[in-house]
Amino acid sequence: MNTSDYNPDFEALLDYLKQNCGCDLTVYKRATLMRRFQHRMQQLKIDNYPNYLQYLQGHPEEYTSLLNTVLINFSGFFRDRDSWDYLANNIIPQIITSKQAQEKIRVWSAGCASGQEVYTLAILLAENLGIEQYLQRVQIFATDVDKDALMQARQASYSENEVIGIPSEALSKYFKKVEQRYVFRSKLRSTIIFGCHNLATDAPMSKIDLLVCRNVLIYLHFQTQASVLVRFHFALAEKGFLFLGSAESFSNTKHLFIPVSLKHHVFAKGENLTLEDHLLLQSKTGKKKAVNPLNAQIRIWQTAFEFSPFPQLVVDHRGRLFMANQQGYTLFGLKNNNLGARVQDLEIGQIVNSFALMRQLHCDRCPINLKNVEWTSERGTIYLDIYITPISDPNGSLIGANFTYVDVTHYTESQNEIFIHTQKCQGLIRK
pLDDT, residue 98, reads 93
pLDDT, residue 28, reads 66
* Same domain? 99 vs 239: yes
For the purposes of burial, counting CB atoms within 10 Å of the CB of 288, is it exposed (0-12), middle (13-18) or buried (19 or more)?
Answer: exposed
The answer to whether the beta carbons of residues 370 and 410 sit under 8 Å apart is no
Which of residues 269, 299, 318 is at a domain's end?
269
Give the type of residue at 343: V
pLDDT, residue 73, reads 45
Res. 95: pLDDT tops 60: yes
Helix/strand/coil for 351: coil
Helix/strand/coil for 23: strand
Between CA 341 and CA 332 the distance in angstroms is: 14
* Angle, alpha carbons 64-67-68 (nearest 5°): 85
**Mean pLDDT calculated for residue range 18-46:** 82
* Same domain? 51 vs 127: no
How many domains, in total, are found in the chain?
Answer: 3
The answer as to whether 302 is a domain residue is no
The answer to whether the beta carbons of residues 92 and 178 sit under 8 Å apart is no
User: Facing residues of 267 across strands?
Assistant: 242, 259
Between CA 223 and CA 251 the distance in angstroms is: 9
Of 296-300, 318-322, 392-396, give the range with the top mean pLDDT: 318-322
Res. 285: pLDDT tops 50: no
The DSSP result for 264-283, as a single string, is: TTEEEE-SPP-HHHHHHHHT
Which of residues 269, 302, 337 is at a domain's end?
269
Task: Residue 138: name the closest of 124, 152, 156 by CA.
Answer: 124
Of 227 and 306, the structure prediction assigns the larger pLDDT to 227
Task: Residue 204: name the closest of 133, 271, 301, 346 by CA.
Answer: 301
* Same domain? 22 vs 160: no
The answer as to whether 275 is a domain residue is no
The CATH number given to whatever domain includes residue 199 is: 3.40.50.150
Task: Say which DSSP state 98 is in.
Answer: T
pLDDT, residue 170, reads 94
* Domain that residue 93 falls in: 81-269
Res. 345: pLDDT tops 80: yes
Between CA 78 and CA 116 the distance in angstroms is: 8
**Share of residues in the chain with pLDDT > 90 (%):** 31
pTM: 0.61
**Mean pLDDT calculated for residue range 166-180:** 93
Which of residues 74, 96, 130 is at a domain's end?
74
* Same domain? 13 vs 97: no
Average pLDDT along the chain: 82
The answer to whether the beta carbons of residues 80 and 71 sit under 8 Å apart is no
pLDDT, residue 301, reads 64
* Number of neighbouring beta carbons within 10 Å of residue 199: 22
* Same domain? 65 vs 182: no
Res. 268: pLDDT tops 90: yes
* Gyration radius of the chain over CA positions: 24
The CATH number given to whatever domain includes residue 21 is: 1.10.155
Between CA 356 and CA 351 the distance in angstroms is: 12
Give the type of residue at 6: Y
Strands 398-407 and 312-316: antiparallel
Res. 279: pLDDT tops 60: no
Res. 397: pLDDT tops 90: no
Task: Residue 136: name the closest of 200, 187, 174 by CA.
Answer: 187
Of 72 and 261, the structure prediction assigns the larger pLDDT to 261
* Same domain? 68 vs 194: no
* Same domain? 247 vs 111: yes
Between CA 110 and CA 121 the distance in angstroms is: 12
pLDDT, residue 283, reads 47
**Mean pLDDT calculated for residue range 68-79:** 70
**Mean pLDDT calculated for residue range 287-316:** 64
Give the type of residue at 135: L
Q: What is the pLDDT of residues 215-232, one digit of tens each?
A: 788 767 667 788 888 889
Give the type of residue at 112: C
pLDDT, residue 372, reads 86
* Number of neighbouring beta carbons within 10 Å of residue 365: 12
* Same domain? 250 vs 382: no
The answer as to whether 305 is a domain residue is no
The answer as to whether 250 is a domain residue is yes
**Mean pLDDT calculated for residue range 245-273:** 79
Confidence of residue 243 (pLDDT cuts 50, 70, 90): very high
The answer as to whether 284 is a domain residue is no
The answer as to whether 23 is a domain residue is yes
pLDDT, residue 141, reads 93
**Mean pLDDT calculated for residue range 382-389:** 89
Of 24-28, 77-81, 169-173, 250-254, give the range with the top mean pLDDT: 169-173
Confidence of residue 287 (pLDDT cuts 50, 70, 90): very low
Res. 305: pLDDT tops 80: no
The answer as to whether 298 is a domain residue is no
pLDDT, residue 296, reads 54
pLDDT, residue 284, reads 38
* Same domain? 102 vs 240: yes
Between CA 403 and CA 350 the distance in angstroms is: 14
Res. 24: pLDDT tops 50: yes
* Same domain? 105 vs 192: yes
The CATH number given to whatever domain includes residue 326 is: 3.30.450.20
Of 299 and 238, the structure prediction assigns the larger pLDDT to 238
Task: Say which DSSP state 5 is in.
Answer: G
Tell me the CA distances in angstroms from 332 to 343, 384, 411, one per residue in order.
Answer: 11, 12, 20
Helix axes 293-306, 275-282, angle to 10 degrees: 20
Strand order in the sheet with 157-158: 157-158, 181-184, 175-178
* Same domain? 370 vs 388: yes
Q: What is the pLDDT of residues 127-158, one digit of tens each?
A: 999 999 999 999 999 998 778 788 889 999 99
* Same domain? 123 vs 256: yes
The answer as to whether 332 is a domain residue is yes
Of 399 and 394, the structure prediction assigns the larger pLDDT to 399
Res. 252: pLDDT tops 60: no
Tell me the CA distances in angstroms from 62 to 57, 69, 75, 270, one per residue in order.
Answer: 9, 11, 20, 34
Confidence of residue 108 (pLDDT cuts 50, 70, 90): very high
Give the type of residue at 89: N
Which segments of 44-185 does DSSP mark as H helices, in order?
A: 49-58, 62-71, 81-86, 92-97, 116-129, 131-137, 147-155, 168-174
Give the type of residue at 292: N
* Angle, alpha carbons 206-207-211 (nearest 5°): 80
pLDDT, residue 129, reads 96
